[in-house]
Amino acid sequence: MNVSKIQFSEMVNGFKTGIFATLNEKKEELIKEGRKVYNLSVGTPDFKPAPHVMKAMQDACKDPENYKYALADLPELLKAVQYRYEKRFGVRVETDEIMSVYGSQECMAHIGMVFCNPGDTILVPNPGYPMFEMSGIMAKANLEYYTIKEENGYLPDLDHIPEETLKRAKYMIVSYPLNPVCVCAPDEFYPKLIDFAKKNEIVILHDNAYSDIIYTRKQGRSFLSFEGAKEVGVEFYSLSKSYNLTGARISFVVGNREIIEKFRTLRSQIDYGIFLPIQYAAIAALTGPDDFIEEQRQQYEARNRALCGGLRKIGWNVPDSQGTMFVWAKIPEGYESSADFCIRLMERTGVIVTPGSAFGSEGEGYVRMALVVDEQMIAEIIRVLDESGIFKD
């Protein structure tokens, strides 16, 4: 067959590499030139998993029986999630209100199929994490964006979402602390959100990936800790960032048992369960000592202060992040777009950040930076930026 005649789907043809490909090309050019590159664009933790978690994985990998299809979540794994939610959030969940998934990305990509027929509508934030959109795209649903703005604390204006949109919407994706804008929602927001969902018969999908990385209080909250939450939705709880298990791909959907049951039915058609050694590692993580999580949070907070405070000192007015492992900042004046600023910044300093436009139209004019280097490296980055004179042009 002539390759040029192969027909691909409209969906896959619509995917664009865009600015990320351009940034990667520029990065490779700088490296070939012998330039030093400081990559703050990718949110991969530089911390290591806890030794007891790695040991649980290693021990499980020694048993040949653990290489068979898992088919279901281990009872010990479900109990471990129960234990964690009770200990960490003060929330009681039953075993039929829990299921594992191959990371929140995979979960988000497939869960829309549980609710939507082609042409149905979902609500996603703008700006927001790109995978939120994929939830609707994979289900062939229509995407409706609710705008979140800095002047409103990056919270959705629930009272001004058009009534016609609400009538069509099947579910709404919400996430706090929110990547990329790095804010936490106040407690009073959640009862209002739950009442909104009940009134409009809209399911809430709450992504809680960063509940252990916040700076406005010692501990983050769970959506499920608010009365009525289980009636209207589910929460995604990931081990990737809190436990530095990004490559293991293990997260959980927790909450409304009817949603869990239907989602489990869907996933039974497309996979055979989480690899058993990963389940054992997750059990060790959820039930073992977790002092390192707080120590890690403190290190992220120190990096947050060092980066944001350092940038303010050299002329870039960057606010401290409230949560997540990122920082969100307006681009300096004089640049046409966030992509233009990112390219110029990389060319002049070797510092790579992500343009806000990658997170939706309302992200234009901002950039996101990841807190994935230590304070010593942050100090070096601040020095390089200052010496470049990029904020004095």
Q: Report the 3 state secondary structure along 23-49.
A: HHHHHHHHHHCCCCCEECCCCCCCCCC
Q: Domain boundary at 255, 270, 287, which?
A: 287
User: Residue 192 is part of a domain; what is its CATH number?
Assistant: 3.40.640.10
Alpha carbon of residue 203 to chain centroid: 19
Task: Give me the number of domains the chain comprises.
Answer: 2
| Residue that finishes a domain, picked among 287, 315, 346 | 287
Please identify, among 236, 267, 287, the residue that sits at the C-terminal boundary of a domain.
287
Note whether 170 and 122 are within 8 A (CB): yes
Q: Which of 12-26, 35-49, 92-106, 303-317 shows the lowest per-residue confidence on average (mean pLDDT)?
A: 12-26
Which range marks the domain in which residue 332 is found?
A: 10-48+292-388
pTM for this model (two decimals): 0.94
Note whether 72 and 32 are same-domain residues: no
Say whether both 162 and 84 belong to one domain: yes
Task: Give 153-178 pLDDT, tens digit per residue.
Answer: 999 999 999 999 999 999 999 999 99
Paired sense of beta strands 142-147 and 38-39, if any: unpaired
Lowest model confidence (mean pLDDT) among 19-33, 114-128, 129-143, 367-381: 19-33
The enclosing domain of 19 has a CATH number of 3.90.1150.10
Same domain, 296 and 256: no
245 & 224 share domain: yes
Same domain, 327 and 277: no
Is 273 found in the same domain as 334?
A: no
Provide CB contacts within 8 A for 241, sequence distance 6+: 43, 45, 209, 210, 212, 213, 325
The answer to whether residue 79 is domain-embedded is: yes
Say yes or no: 197 and 327 in one domain. Answer: no
Q: How far apart are CA 155 and CA 257, in angstroms?
A: 27
Question: Are 203 and 55 within one domain?
Answer: yes
Do the Cβ atoms of 297 and 214 come closer than 8 Å? yes
pLDDT in tens, 279-294: 999 999 999 998 999 9
Distance, in Å, from the CA atom of 28 to the CA atom of 347, rounded to the nearest integer, reads: 11
